[in-house]
Amino acid sequence: MKKIAIAGLLCLAGTAFAQEELKIGAIVTLSGAGAAWGQAMLYATELAADDVNAKGGLDVGGKKYKVKVVPYDDKYQAGEAVTAANRLVFEDKVKYIIGPVGSAAALAVTPIVDKNKVVMLTLGFTDKALGKDKAFNFRPNLTTMETSQPQINWIVKAKNIKKVGGLFPNDETGQQIAQDLEKAYSKAGAQLNAKEFFERERVDMMPLLTRMMAKGIDAIELDGNAPGTAGLIVKQARELGFKGFIIRSGGPATPEIVNVAGNGAANGMLVNTPINPANTAVKAYSDRYFAKYKKRMNGFSPAFYDGTHMLLQAMSAAGTTTDTDKVRVALENIKDFKGILGTLNWTGAEVYGAAHQISAPFYIARVQDGQEVIEATCSLTECK
């Protein structure tokens, strides 16, 4: 009897001190070639959630909320992403979604999230991911649109590149990136004169590489490919005796590429990176990431760590977790956010029609023995 009474009291006490729960959904790629990015986003969200939970929860309008992340794997497929979005919105009843990773998936879930006023932080590289009519879509990472021109201008000039070949996945992401890069290279004075599109599952790149190399290219562009695939391209290009430059104008994936291609093949690769190794805040984050997940941090992760913190701050500022119209406006109004990547602001009103695109510094690095060595520091206008 006594025991039951104590148990009952404990239960009551439990409910009295229980925090409200704030669910954040994640539609991320956890299997297959895009897994590195999906993990980077999911882990970033979880680490940001850990931060606020360690402080007793997120303070919104005087109430403390414990942040819980609900992840689903979209397998880098639009269809799977839609299923995940429906589950998150209608069954889990989330009001905030981190993801999806792919452009096709981002476009596919946009109607669902917009209709239900769910705030979404997506990685999707397509320029259609943001827009005037997509009021709830935000992008906390830089894309090719922002970084390619200053970076390509610098590389073409510094390395004297004339002819470039590119291999792209045959979907929305790949087509879009190929189109952007073609423009960027011709503006910089070089030419993207070998373009190959292939199905995402493809692993044997030799026929495509053979065809590109026969055209006498000086450089291979890897932008748009998932990390695992990019690694295979590097490995096979070097096996075929390709001696030119290998460039990755976007989509951080150096650890994964080195992992698949090996140190030797990856040496000398020129990559876009959002991370400066001298940045101590990111270094500390990367150590924490490794300690918790036993994986080297992917370069997209800090952007989503900062992005999730901005989202949480917006909820605090709006004083609500349920009225997403207010949260959206509060998020738009954040200025000079001090993230681990530096000072962050929203930009993109001219390009996309909505200032929902992050503006952050980025770098060009050369890969040496698996590590990135910074060669130039870039803003959205130029690299030095």
Partner 1 sequence: MIRLRAFGDTAVDFTFLIGQALTNGLIIGLLYLLMAIGFTLVFGVMRVVNFAHGEFYMLGAFSAYVCVTKLQLPFLAAVLATFILTLVLGWIIEVVVMKGFRGEELNGMIATIGLAMILQNGALMIFGPDPQSMPAVAEGVVSLGPVMLPMSRLYVVAFSLVVLVLLYGFLMHSKGGRALRAVVQDIEIANAQGIRSQFMYPLGFGIGVALAAVAGALMAPVFSVSPSIGSTPLLKAFIVVILGGLGSIPGAALAALLLGVFESVANPFMSSSFSDMLLFGFVILMLIFRPSGLLGKAGR
Q: Return the residues of window 158-217 that contact partner 1 according to CB under 8 A.
A: 170, 193-194, 196-199, 201-204, 206-208, 210-211, 213-216
241 touches partner 1 (CB under 8 A): yes
- Binding partner 1 (rule: CB under 8 A), the pick from 24, 26, 27, 35 is 35
User: How many residues are given for the chain?
Assistant: 384
Residue span binding partner 1 (CB under 8 A) among the ranges 4-12, 27-35, 120-128, 148-156: 27-35
Among 24, 33, 40, 81, interactor with partner 1 by CB under 8 A: 33
> Residue 83, interface with partner 1 (CB under 8 A)?
no
Q: Measured between alpha carbons, how far is 246 from 235 in angstroms, rounded to an integer?
A: 11
Choices 24-32, 270-278, 301-309, 366-374 (CB under 8 A): range interacting with partner 1: 24-32
In angstroms, the CA 302 to CA 281 distance is 10
Instruction: Considering the complex, state which of residue 6 and residue 206 has its C-beta at the smaller distance from partner 1.
Output: 206
Beta carbons of 47 and 305 less than 8 angstroms apart: yes
Taking the least distance from each CB to partner 1, the nearer of 38 and 150 is: 38
Binding segment (CB under 8 A) for partner 1, from list 107-115, 256-264, 269-277, 372-380: 256-264
> Does 32 sit near partner 1 (CB under 8 A)?
yes
Q: Give me the amino acid identity at 84.
A: A
Nearer to partner 1, 124 or 228 (CB): 228
The closest of 373, 384, 379 to 276, measured between CA atoms, is 373
What are the start-end ranges of the E strands in the chain? Answer: 20-28, 58-60, 63-73, 96-98, 119-121, 137-138, 163-169, 191-198, 219-221, 245-248, 270-273, 337-339, 342-347, 357-359, 362-368, 371-378
Query: Which of 221, 256, 306, 372 touches partner 1 (CB under 8 A)?
Result: 256
Q: Both tokens of residue 356?
A: 């929902």
Q: How far is the CB of 84 from partner 1 (least distance, A)?
A: 16
User: Which residue number, 260 or 297, has a Cβ lying nearer to partner 1?
Assistant: 260
**Separation in Å, CA 69 to CA 13, 33, 62, 379:** 25, 23, 22, 33
Binding residues among 262-301 for partner 1 as defined by CB under 8 A: 262, 295
The reply to whether 231 sits near partner 1 by the rule CB under 8 A is: yes
18, 125, 27: which is closest to 69 by C-alpha?
27
Number of residues binding to partner 1, judged by CB under 8 A: 40
Q: CA 14 to CA 10: how far, in whole Å?
A: 6
336 lies in the site for partner 1, by CB under 8 A: no
Which tokens go with 168?
């792209």
| The token pair that represents 355 in the structure block | 């200032």
Question: In terms of Cα–Cα distance, which of 331, 358, 328, 334 is closest to 346?
Answer: 358
- Shortest distance in whole angstroms from residue 281 CB to partner 1: 26
Q: How near is the Cβ of 43 to partner 1 at its closest, in Å?
A: 13
Residues that bind partner 1 (CB under 8 A): 30-33, 35-36, 39, 170, 193-194, 196-199, 201-204, 206-208, 210-211, 213-216, 227-228, 231-232, 239-241, 256, 259-262, 295
